[in-house]
Amino acid sequence: MSRTNRPRRARGRSRVGERFEVEVGPVAHGGHCVARLPEPESRVVFVRHALPGERVLVEITEGTEGDRFWRGDAVRVDETSADRVPVPCPVAGPGLCGGCDFQHVAVPAQRDLKTAVVREQLVRLGRLPAESAIVSGLHVKAVPVPGRADDGLRWRTRQRYAALPDGRPAMRAHRSHDLVPLEDCLIAAEGARPADALVEEGAPPVVHTVTAAGQSHDFAVAADGFWQVHPEAPRVLVEAVLELLAPRPGERALDLYAGVGLFARFVADATGTRVVAVEADRTACHHARANLAGLDAAAVECGPTDRVLRTSLDEPFDLVVLDPPREGAKRAVVEQVVDRRPRAVVYVACDPAALGRDVAIFAEHDYELTAVRAFDLFPMTHHVECVALLEPRRR
């Protein structure tokens, strides 16, 4: 299939379409492995659809003479990894749907790849020693969908599709605007498959019941608003947050990037006192207020975390939960958090690179990473969810 890559600054002659035989090296963050092209190119290529240790023919999909590295797809496998499996999805593969990265990898081995990536990000960006117990003891855990085999399929409860001009559902190719038609998406759960995933404008809010740590709460969320996409994610993440935060009665808590108040609600069960949820999206704030309405000492502050922390909330907090979008919390927010000297900070991270960068900023302010859990809440893709505990360094 021809590809229309997103526009980028051309730097020299394009090498797209050229093919090279390579030995594939380690996995890297982003759903690909690293390979070095043979002489005279001797350049790094990020190769999709390959596995460490394989020998493949890679076709360059992005790369010009001036680029530091190129991207490519394994279009033929000459020496096969024991972790390679037949691809279950007919639209997964070079040039096809960009939604999944690891359909060609046995599901347990996908978790090994993600484990390697999270460890690498914590070492390279988080500046943790590779031999530390936190890094070497980290393993991405399976999160089975109740009633299903551990096959990595039919877990995604929300899925967005593009539409072809004739109305047929499609997904985008990897790093491309090209649309790939599809009849089904094998990671989509019933209700999120192409035939039934359309969210009508003005659709009423959806209510989810979450049972975790012996408590059950209902959460209203806009039909197109943020909610964790794996059916087990709310429970698993709430339980990990509570385990690491270990909230005590009377402790005051901040839930940053709170969505509709998932973590705030469960933390308040344990503390029984002041909890403040901070969220930028107005509709999510509206639902968070309703979801936390039964709590006398709860409040929702609507606005960007950075601004809310800078201009409001001039009060002490013992506990902070933060669950930022993929780009992470970044320096301004991390510094506002550590300024309040909380006893414990739990960071829920959907991007281990952002987590690593923010962990390094916390460390500059004497908050150290003391525990981390990682969960495979996005099988078949390179995505992984981490829950990390940061505490003031003990002297």
Ligand X SMILES: C[S@@+](CC[C@H](N)C(=O)[O-])C[C@H]1O[C@@H](n2cnc3c(N)ncnc32)[C@H](O)[C@@H]1O
Annotated binding site for S-adenosyl-L-methionine: 228, 257, 279, 323
Residue 116 or 280: the one with the smaller Cβ distance to ligand X is 280
Q: Could you tell me which residues come within 8 angstroms of residue 282 by beta carbon, excluding any fewer than 6 positions away?
A: 302
User: Is residue 110 a contact point for ligand X (CB under 6 A)?
Assistant: no
Q: Tell me whether residue 350 is one of the annotated catalytic residues.
A: yes
How far apart CA 276 and CA 256 sit, in angstroms, is 8
Among the residue ranges 76-84, 130-138, 196-204, 280-288, the one whose residues contact ligand X (CB under 6 A): 280-288
User: Is residue 41 a contact point for ligand X (CB under 6 A)?
Assistant: no
User: Is residue 157 a contact point for ligand X (CB under 6 A)?
Assistant: no
Using the rule CB under 6 A, which residue among 81, 110, 176, 305 binds ligand X?
A: 305
Interface pattern 214-233 for ligand X (x via CB under 6 A): ------------x-x-----
Instruction: List the one residue out of 388, 389, 385 whose CA is nearest residue 140.
Output: 385
Burial environment of residue 121 by CB neighbours within 10 A (0 to 12, 13 to 18, 19 or more)? buried
Q: Parallel, antiparallel, or unpaired for β 32-36 and 206-212?
A: unpaired
Instruction: List the one residue out of 157, 175, 150, 204 whose CA is nearest residue 98.
Output: 175
Using the rule CB under 6 A, which residue among 259, 328, 352, 379 binds ligand X?
A: 259
Using the Cα atoms of residue 121, residue 126, residue 127 and residue 130 in order, give the sign of their dihedral. negative
User: Is residue 375 a contact point for ligand X (CB under 6 A)?
Assistant: no
> Which residues define the annotated binding site?
228, 257, 279, 323
Q: Which residue has the tokens 């991270």?
A: 349
Are the C-beta atoms of 378 and 188 separated by less than 8 Å? Answer: no
Among the residue ranges 67-75, 142-150, 210-218, 274-282, the one whose residues contact ligand X (CB under 6 A): 274-282
User: Is residue 325 a contact point for ligand X (CB under 6 A)?
Assistant: yes
> Which residue out of 33, 97, 185, 350 is catalytically annotated?
350
Using the rule CB under 6 A, which residue among 25, 53, 304, 392 binds ligand X?
A: 304
Q: Could you tell me which residues come within 8 angstroms of residue 40 by beta carbon, excluding any fewer than 6 positions away?
A: none
Residues at the site binding ligand X, with contacts judged by CB under 6 A: 226, 228, 257-259, 262-263, 278-281, 284, 304-305, 323, 325, 350
Catalytic residue numbers read 350
